[in-house]
Amino acid sequence: MSQPLPLPGFADVEAAAGRLSGLVRRTPVATSSGLDAELGARLFFKCENLQKVGAFKYRGASNTLAQLSPEALARGVATHSSGNHAAALALAARVRGAEAHIVMPRDAPAAKVEAVRAYGGQIRFCEPTQAAREQALRELVEQTGATFVHPYADPRVVAGQGTAAYELLTDLPDLDFLLVPVGGGGLLSGSALASRGLSPRTQVWGCEPERANDAFLSFRDKRHHPAHPPSTLCDGLLTALSPEVTLPIILREVDGILTASEDSILLAMKLIWQRMKLVVEPSGAIGLACLMEQPERFRGKRVGIILSGGNLDLNPMFSALKARSDSLASS
The SS3 call for residue 2 is coil
Q: How far apart are CA 285 and CA 318, in angstroms?
A: 21
Q: What is the DSSP string of 65-89?
A: HTTS-HHHHHH-EEEE-SSHHHHHH
Beta carbon of residue 317, minimum distance to a copy of itself (angstroms, whole number): 4
Would you give the distance in Å from CA 258 to the centre of its chain?
17
Q: Is 205 left (phi over 0), alpha (psi -120 to 50) or beta?
A: beta
Stretch that binds a copy of itself, among 58-66, 126-134, 197-205, 267-275 (CB under 8 A): 267-275
Question: Taking CB under 8 A as the rule, does residue 278 contact a copy of itself?
Answer: yes
Q: CB count, 10 Å around CB of 42?
A: 18
Alpha-carbon Rg for the chain, nearest whole angstrom, is: 19
Q: What is the DSSP string of 13-58?
A: HHHHHHHHBTTB----EE--HHHHHHHTSEEEEEEGGGSGGGBTHH
Q: CB count, 10 Å around CB of 143?
A: 11
Provide CB contacts within 8 A for 75, sequence distance 6+: 144, 145, 146, 147
Stretch that binds a copy of itself, among 161-169, 172-180, 218-226, 314-322 (CB under 8 A): 314-322
Residue among 5, 11, 74, 314 that touches a copy of itself (CB under 8 A): 314
Residue among 269, 286, 291, 292 that touches a copy of itself (CB under 8 A): 269
List, in sequence order, every residue forming a beta bridge with 227; answer none if it has no partner. Answer: none
Phi then psi for 181, rounded to 5 degrees? -60, 145
- Active-site residue, selected from the candidate residues 57, 62, 81, 112: 57
Beta carbon of residue 275, minimum distance to a copy of itself (angstroms, whole number): 8
Residue among 273, 297, 301, 302 that touches a copy of itself (CB under 8 A): 273
**Is 57 annotated in the active site?**
yes
Question: Taking CB under 8 A as the rule, does residue 54 contact a copy of itself?
Answer: yes
Stretch that binds a copy of itself, among 9-17, 68-76, 218-226, 278-286 (CB under 8 A): 278-286
Question: Taking CB under 8 A as the rule, does residue 128 contact a copy of itself?
Answer: no
Q: What is the DSSP string of 282-313?
A: GGGGHHHHHHHH-HHHHTT-EEEEEE-B----
**Is 231 annotated in the active site?**
no
**Site map for a copy of itself, 66-105, x if CB under 8 A?**
----------------------------------------
Complex with a copy of itself: residue 294 or 318, whichever CB lies closer: 318
Question: Taking CB under 8 A as the rule, does residue 109 contact a copy of itself?
Answer: no
Stretch that binds a copy of itself, among 8-16, 77-85, 147-155, 323-331 (CB under 8 A): 323-331
Element (H, E) at 95: helix 84-95
- Active-site residue, selected from the candidate residues 199, 242, 283, 308: 308
Question: Taking CB under 8 A as the rule, does residue 125 contact a copy of itself?
Answer: no
Complex with a copy of itself: residue 21 or 231, whichever CB lies closer: 231
Q: Where in the sequence numbering do the catalytic residues fall?
A: 57, 308
> What does the binding site for a copy of itself look like in residue numbers (CB under 8 A)?
28, 47, 49-50, 54, 211, 230-233, 262, 266, 269-270, 273-274, 276-280, 282, 310, 314, 316-322, 324-325, 328-329, 331
